[in-house]
Each structure stands twice: as C-alpha cells, then as structure tokens.
Amino acid sequence: MGMRLARPEPLNGLMVIALAVAPPLAAGAEARTCDSSLASSDGACSSPIERLRAAAAELASSSSPLSPSDEAAAQEAQRQLAALLSQRRPESRKRLPLSGAGASGKLFNASFVEAVAPFYHPDTGTELMGPLLYSLIRSTRPKLVVELGCGYTTLFLAQALRDAAAEARAEAKGFRKGDERRADGQRGRDWLLWGSHSAGRAVGEWREAGSFWGSGSFRRRAVAPYKPRLHCVDTFSSNPGLKSYYESADGFRRAAAALGVDGVLTVHTADWAGWEASLPAEFPPIDFLWWDGFQPPQFPLFWKRVSADGGICVLHSTLSNYRNWVWLQDLKLQQATTGFRDFELLSLLEPHKWAQNSCTVLRKVSGHDPAEVLVRPHP
C-alpha cells in the first residue's frame, strides 16, 4: 500500500471491519504472494482480497505506537482498506450460504462507511457502538426499533434493519422451495431456521413425544413477512437543556435516502418525554431501544413500552458516569429482589477510554415463555 502501517487506532471501526473480513494467517506466516497475473507494475498484488490480507498481516505484525506525524497516513490506510472491501469479486460472495446473510450486509461496504462518517462526533463516543448495534439488530431481528438521540449510530440501525429484511426475504424464498440441502447433498444453513421444513418435522415429532411444550409462536413469527421500522427522536436544538449535536433531521433523511434505507427510518424532531406522551394508544411494544445520552429519570417512561417478551434496551455511558452508575446499582438490586424474572442485565466496558466508555444491555423477560424456544429431542 506504499506505506508502513503503525497499528492505528480504529477511528471509526474500519480496522475492526477490515481485519474481521480478512482471512487469518497462521502464526509466523508471511502474507501470501499473489498470482503473477494479478501483480501491478511495481510488483504489488492487485487482487483486492490478497491486498487486504497483506495489509492485515502488516498491521498484526506491528507493535509501535502511532505517532502524531503518522496519523494522516494511518487514516489514509483505513480509507484504502475500506475501499478494498467494496472491490470484492462476485465469486467471493457466491460462497455465502444465503443471500443477505451474515457478512454480506451493507455494513461491509465502503460506500456505507463513507456515508456515515460525517455523522460521527467525538464527544459522543459511539464509534464502536455503531457496529455493535448493527450486530445486535441483525441477531435479534426486532420489528420496532426506537433510538433516543440521533447520531452516528442512526444509519447503522437503519442499515441493519434493511439487511435483516433482505435476509428474511431470502429465507422465505428458500422455505417456499424447500431447499435445505446443498448441491453436494449436505445440509445447508436453512435447516436451522424456524420456518424450515426440518423445524416443522422436528417440532411435530418432539411435541408428539412430549418434549416440546411451546405453542409454535416463534415458527409463525419466522414465516410472517418481516417489515421493521426505526423511529429516531432528537431535539435538533442548541439550547443547553435540550442540546443536540445536529442542526436538523434533514441530513439524516438525505443520507438514509442515498443508502436506500429511508424506507425503514422515521426521524422525529421532539424531546423524548414529549414524543413518548404523544404516542397513540395502539403504538406497538418496542422490540429494541437504543438510548444515547441516557437519562435515568425518564427510564420508566420508555421501559414500560419495551416488549416484555424479550425486548432489548441498550443504554450508553452507564459505568463511568457517576449518576448513571448509581442508578445501575439500584437496578441490579431490583433485579435480585424480583428473582431475576423481570429482566437480564449485562454491562460492557471499553477499558481504553475514561469517558463515554460503556453500555448496559437489558433484556426484558417478564412476559417471555422459555417453552417457546426450548427444543428438546428427549423428554
């Protein structure tokens, strides 16, 4: 790549994405030499995948800290690595077991990284929250998502929902075909899904044997059309009491349209409590709540709206903000006194940061029936 990389910090998650996509090298191995037909005039490998592997190996082998004079070079290296991701050959994508699955999402596309970059604000400390939230959305596949505080993470959430919807459509197409085996006769990925013929047969057999007690709600949910929505709420105000880092909702709407995710996104200009009070009685339960700029006094307003059947709430900056930390200790005590039946709790800390360095994930289970997901082949 024409420069010596000095292990730059992942300013916006690009290094994390790049190294995750590059295939790992064996310990002590050198970057693999590419085919001579792919080499450029200076002998460098021109294959995107080979160049990405070589760049990742060089990053992994360097242990010197990043000096200020090298910061510009490091940022350029990140930009080039992101560009490589968008140059993957069509044949590399054909190896995925299902169109739209896993790493084929648009998060791994340089155009997405470029589109979200202008929305990053260093004061918010959400450079790693975006990829984390994206993965959580893809994994849990919520129908209704609410973000309190628009920002860098907004487009990650919208893209995750769009990619999850594309994955769901591909799955439904496979269900209709009954195509759960690969050309080589081995079982494909589809057999793991609730909507597959394999699941239908297995659940029927296990229910008859008395080892499955669910109603089949997850299977019905799996085969139903998946049409997610994201509501983002922000004041877009410069007033100290209602401070926002962004002037208006228009920039988010334009970026969403450019990325093709505007179909899932609605941006509301309002304060959080006012927006919650304006919701109609038929507003459905929230499946996934992401709260940037978390305010403990307003927690009851939104927690009551989170789905009791496994709804997820992610709160930012809970371990280094003293006010939030005290509130979290009280929440842990509440969890213990209810016999852990109401919610599950996990906090994550970014140990390399002293502020804006944590999040807490709550999963509401007061209305969740474990029998719906416990599939036991034996009584």
Can you give the residue ranges of every domain in the chain?
A: 14-93, 104-168+226-368, 173-222
Pairing type for strands 343-349 and 358-364 reads antiparallel
CB 211 within 8 A of CB 377: yes
Q: Which of 121, 119, 145, 140 is nearest to 291 (CA)?
A: 145
Which numeric CATH code is attached to 104-168+226-368? Answer: 3.40.50.150
Helices 14-21/48-61 angle, 10° precision:
110
Tell me, what's the pLDDT at 78?
63
Collapsing DSSP to helix, strand or coil, 110 comes out as: helix
Tell me, what's the pLDDT at 210?
78
Report which residue type is found at 15.
M
Segments of the chain with pLDDT less than 50: 1-46, 48-49, 89-101, 379
Collapsing DSSP to helix, strand or coil, 349 comes out as: strand
For 209, the token pair is 């044997």
For 368, the token pair is 């969740």
What is the end-to-end Cα distance of the chain in Å, rounded? 59
Which residues share a beta bridge with 146? Answer: 231, 289
Q: Give the span between the Cα atoms of 275 and 318, in whole angstroms.
A: 23
For 183, the token pair is 């050309």
Tell me, what's the pLDDT at 170?
85
Pairing type for strands 229-234 and 144-148 reads parallel
Q: Give the span between the Cα atoms of 238 and 245, in whole angstroms.
A: 8
Tell me, what's the pLDDT at 165?
94
CB 255 within 8 A of CB 115: yes
